[in-house]
Structure 1
Amino acid sequence: MAPHYVVRYVDRAGPRTVDALREAGVATVHEAAGRIGLLGPAVQARQTGVAIAGSAITVSCPPGDNLMVHAAVEVCRPGDVLVVTTTSRSTDGMVGDLLAASLMARGVVGLVIDAGVRDLAALREMGFPVWSRAVHAQGTVKASPGSVNVPVVVDGRVVRPGDVVVADDDGVVVLPVALAPAAAEAAAKRLAAEADKRATLAGGALGVDLYGLRPLLADLGVTYVDRLPT
């Protein structure tokens, strides 16, 4: 039998970096970091208007078994994001309102799960945000071993313990701790530049002029005509 672990300690990014990345949002962070770390679109927000960021506590479970999610609660700290995967594709409801209550008591700010959640109305009422592959009432058992705080794969992206997870209505992006401060700085600069461009565009400027795209269009053979040739 392969070994299974519950790793108690992970490196975490500083709170100022985490806060800056949350405020910047998934789309800006993804661009500012060089277009890395974006999860696939199958893991979706199950609420609207909520943005979170925090350090990843990762969980690897057999499908249909949430034993290791319960084991993971103990090692969570305030500000963490629980990231749950299954060893093969599953849509079973691995987390519901009872587990969410336990996670919230530990200060966990949200859940990213490459499987299903259940009791969604209760989760929303509690204010516990989730990003999941599915919403499904199918319950789970507590019978099989897995691991906590090992590298996992979530919708095509490797997530390591302690990675900074940023999630909002646009999806989920995950960055290594070592890259997070530079990404936060780049995101702040990008937001400032976008504010200037937004004001210029709102004033009536055209994107083809603002971004200098007319020469590119010409080089690509795009011709402006008043009517299509007959």
Structure 2
Amino acid sequence: MKPQKSVIYRQIPRPDPALLARAAEFGVADLHGALGLVAGRMSLMSPAMNPIAPGQKLCGPAITAWNFPGDNLAIHIALDTAQVGDVLVFTNGGGHQGALWGDVACGFAVKKGVAGAVVHGACRDTDAIRDLGFPVWSTHVSVEQPEKRGPAAVNVPVVADGVLVEPGDIVCGDADGVVVIPLALLAATVAGAEARAANEVKIRARIAAGELPLDILGIRNTIETLGIEQIEGTWQDGQG
């Protein structure tokens, strides 16, 4: 095996634009659910990954950057490779040492048409970034000064907030969190999200007509199948 070293890949695999546009119509909850129990959980970042402003949303292919702790050289290289609509995904392992993202780089990202940034590490200049209207999710906020010396790796597979992100994977974020859709699963995920959305329309109509979610979702049958005891009384009634 060759020793690992700093590397920059300037291209990423890219999704079908029409398919990406369909994915962007859905929220993180529908896309996460459509991925299924296993892939959905593996692809969902933790609640530590927070939006810096309300109302943010993004959906686009990942440009990835691995940064040495305390350093953000890779994010500037990644930004140089990004195209319109791309999502920047940065990690330094998740530490707060050395802010990975700030308003100066953000201003250039806005000018370039980048869709947003997901930062497994620290972001700073948050008020200025909000004023720019640039969507950012991060696990930390810290003004700690970063170095720009490397080592660095750009557009390689990274693990960001516990999720494997390969260059070109579809990163979607909203107020509920961030999910990463593997490029190979995009078509199936979009189809699943469309089916879920259509089913929810029917469920809401049935609720509006007077049916109970307990019946619509089959919860009564589940209670019976599991043999869960139901007692007509309070918990204190059985004490004494």
Tell me the TM-score normalized by structure 2: 0.90
C-alpha displacement of 1:91: 4.9
Contact 1:93–1:116 at 8 Å: present in 2 too? yes
| Residue identity matched to 2:163 | R
TM-score, normalization: structure 1? 0.94
Q: What does 1:98-177 correspond to in 2, within 5 Å?
A: 98-177=104-183
- Tell me whether 1:15 sits opposite 2:11 in the alignment: no
| Unmatched 5+ stretches in structure 2 | none
Task: Name the residue aligned to 1:74.
Answer: 80
Q: Tell me the distance in 2 between the aligned counterparts of 1:172 and 1:107.
A: 20
- 1:29: which partner in 2? 31
Cα distance in structure 2, aligned partners of 1:171 and 1:54 = 15
Which of 69, 85, 96 aligns to 1:90? It is: 96
Other-structure match for 1:206: 212
- 3-state SS, counterpart of residue 27 of structure 1: helix
Query: How big is the shift at 1:215?
Result: 2.3
Partners in 2 of 1:64 and 1:54 — Cα distance?
A: 27
Q: Deviations over 1:180-221 (max 9, x none)?
A: 012111111110111111222233321111112212212323
Contact 1:63 1:92 in 2 (8 A): yes
Q: Which runs of 4+ in 1 moved over 4 A?
A: none
Which structure carries more helix by proportion?
Answer: 2
Task: Check conservation: 2:96, 2:142, Cα contact below 8 A.
Answer: no
Q: What residue is the counterpart of 1:191 in the other structure?
A: 197
Whether the 8 Å CA contact 1:78–1:108 is kept in 2: the answer is yes
The whole-number CA distance in structure 1 between the counterparts of 2:155 and 2:105 is 18
Q: Closer, same or farther in 2 for the Cα pair 1:61/1:166, shift >3 Å? A: same
Identical-pair percentage: 38
Deviates more, 1:38-47 or 1:119-128: 38-47
* 1:99-146 Cα shifts (integer Å, max 9, x gaps): 001122222110001001111011111010101001112121212220
Give the unaligned 5+ runs of structure 1. Answer: none
Please tell me the residue identity of whatever aligns with 1:125.
D
Secondary structure in 2 matching 1:16:
helix
Deviations 1:143-162 (A, max 9, x none): 22201001100111110000
Q: Distance in 2 between matches of 1:58 and 1:105?
A: 19
Q: 1:38 to 1:167 in 2, by over 3 A?
A: same
RMSD: 1.6
- Within 2, Cα distance between the matches of 1:202 and 1:20? 28
Aligned residues: 230
Q: Write the distance in 1 (CA, Å) between the matches of 2:147 and 2:218.
A: 58
Partner in structure 2 of residue 56 of structure 1: 62
